[in-house]
Amino acid sequence: MPEKGRGKLKIFMGYAAGVGKTYKMLEEARELKAKGIDVVVGYFEPHGRKDTIAKAEGLEFVPRKKIVYRESTFEEMDTDAIVARRPQVAVVDEFPHTNVPGSERAKRWEDVHVLLDAGIDVLTTMNVQHLESLNDEVWRVTGIRVRETIPDWVVEQADEVVMIDLTPRALLHRLERGVVYGREKAEQAMRNFFRESTLVALRELALRQAAHEVEHRIGDDEAGTHAEAGVQDGKRKHHRILVHVTADPQTAMLIRRAKRVSDFLGAECFAVAVQASGDLSTLPESDREAINRHLNFARNLHIETRILEGEDTAPTLVDFARRNQITQIFLARPRDRRWFPPLSRNLVQRIVALAKDMQIVIVSEREPVIH
């Protein structure tokens, strides 16, 4: 029997718990099984929802792996066991999940990539607020900082993304009826995350993301068609984005914002730090660690990173931008001068003056909306 290529990934995405992502995923798994496809459940989190549990009946479950951490036993998906079982399709709930320390991989999406590499198709679920580039926007509209995130490129590489939609009013009705959580947890949820205004804002993010996914996939198809035909699309301007990286904690927010814009524009993105020595060795340890953390964060989002050698940040940054045909430069609005190199009192103004042929985007962190 010939070796199968890489498996296909299908993501069922929503904007909150209870919209029906897992239910729809299990419904599709049952349909595939009815067609004679070999399907297993690699991980399923029922949350006590009777209708969802009923949808899982009759499907084969691969037992979870038990991991002891700090004298407590946790259960995680047994990736190796699924690969050994070699099904055609694996159902894996909660794609953004962080595995317990001691697991072979830190994130469940990394486990899913192991399954895909083994030629196994995967059905999985996630909420839009777990997308890394939306982290700041979600914090602004909910006041909650989502800690479990997925790099956007992981979702963009999926073969299919299905948006599971439900009106906020219908979701709240489900919550009130005890379909999503037990009564006590449901009442607490409605006082916090599940306020209607918050759900409306999250749903809007999800619908915008759905539109972006459609655009992204149509764009890829058109690019492939043009490449095959040897045609260049002269109408679409080629964008390139540069992010200025410093030790300022705002830098992570700046990187996310630039990445979001670059994805919508189909632009290349660079994250660039400037140091007189050309490396980070002369910096205080705390600043060195912060800049390294930001550069690693950018790399994880598939952004190209550089450390430029230069005594003066503004001309060094603009010179790099010009040589690399950058169209937009993203800068953080300075809050604390100690994060910036000497001569930076008017860094933003100096860059604006030097880069008149480029768009300068000055980003400041926004406070959460108080409902």
Same domain for 57 and 146?
A: yes
Pair 256, 329 in one domain:
yes
In a domain, 299, yes or no: yes
Q: Are residues 302 and 187 in the same domain?
A: no
Region 210-237: what's the mean pLDDT?
54
Write out the two tokens for 351: 């860059």
Q: Are residues 87 and 213 in the same domain?
A: yes
Q: Between these two residues, 54 and 47, which has the higher pLDDT value?
A: 54
Higher per-residue confidence, 342 vs 366? 366
Residue 221 has pLDDT above 90, yes or no: no
Which token pair is 348? Answer: 């933003």
pLDDT above 90: residue 24: yes
Q: What is the pLDDT of residue 275?
A: 93
Q: Is 1 a residue whose pLDDT tops 80?
A: no
Q: Is residue 288 part of a domain?
A: yes
Which CATH number covers residue 64? Answer: 3.40.50.300
- In the chain, how many domains are there? 2
Q: Which conformational region is residue 171 in: left (phi greater than 0), alpha (psi within -120 to 50 degrees), or beta?
A: alpha
pLDDT of residue 228: 46
| CATH classification of the domain holding 358 | 3.40.50.620
- Which tens digits make up the pLDDT trace of 119-170? 999 999 999 999 998 988 888 888 888 899 999 999 989 999 999 998 999 9
Residue 257 inside a domain? The answer is yes
Mean pLDDT along residues 68-91:
96
Segment 190-194 shows an average pLDDT of 79
Reported in sequence order, the residue ranges of 95-223 that DSSP labels E, i.e. its strands, are 121-127, 160-163
Residues 16 and 64 in one domain: yes
Q: For residue range 273-313, list pLDDT tens digits in order.
A: 999 988 998 999 999 999 999 999 999 999 999 999 999 99
Domain identity same for 324 and 210: no
Q: Phi first, then psi: give them for residue 331, nearest 5 degrees.
A: -125, 145
- Residue with the larger pLDDT of the pair 59 and 335: 59
Domain shared by 67 and 166, yes or no:
yes
pTM, rounded to two decimals: 0.73
pLDDT of residue 207: 84
Residues 170 and 61 in one domain: yes
For the chain, what is the mean pLDDT?
A: 86
Q: Is 223 within a domain?
A: no
Residues 203 and 246 in one domain: no
Judge if 211 and 161 occupy the same domain: yes
- Residue 227 confidence (pLDDT): 43
Over pLDDT 70: what percentage of the chain? 87
Note whether 138 and 283 are same-domain residues. Answer: no
Query: What percent of the chain stands above pLDDT 90?
Result: 57
In this structure, the answer to whether residues 245 and 358 fall within a common structural domain is: yes
Helices and strands of the chain, counted as H and E runs: 13, 13
* Domain assignment of residue 53, given as a range: 9-217
Q: What is the pLDDT of residues 324-334, one digit of tens each?
A: 999 999 998 76
CA dihedral 205, 264, 146, 103 (to 10 degrees): 130
Can you tell me which residue has the tokens 């050698």? 309
Residue 54 has pLDDT above 80, yes or no: yes
Is 1 a domain residue?
A: no
Question: What pLDDT is stored for residue 233 in this prediction?
Answer: 44
What does the pLDDT read at residue 229? 42
pLDDT at residue 49, as a whole number: 84
Highest averaged pLDDT of the listed ranges 44-53, 211-220, 305-314, 346-355? 305-314
